[in-house]
Amino acid sequence: MGMNKNTVLGWATFLMVIMGLVLIGLGAYRYADVAGWGFATVGFGFLLNAWVFNALKGRV
């Protein structure tokens, strides 16, 4: 199974979106205090990273 750069970036983007949503969900539902804001912020950062990876997919 040969994976070129676009496939690797595609999988990384997909996994980062999943992790970002999980972290935001943890921040929203599991930790309702100040720690939840940290989880949600990190999750949002994962989503932004995934967006950047997706933008790079055709250019690398």
Q: How far apart are CA 20 and CA 49, in angstroms?
A: 9
pLDDT at 1: 57
pLDDT at 56: 77
Domain ranges of the chain: 13-56
pLDDT at 41: 84
pLDDT at 47: 85
pLDDT at 57: 72
Flag whether the pTM goes above 0.85: no
pLDDT tens, N- to C-terminus, the chain (60 residues): 567 777 888 888 888 888 888 888 887 777 767 777 777 888 888 888 888 877 877 766
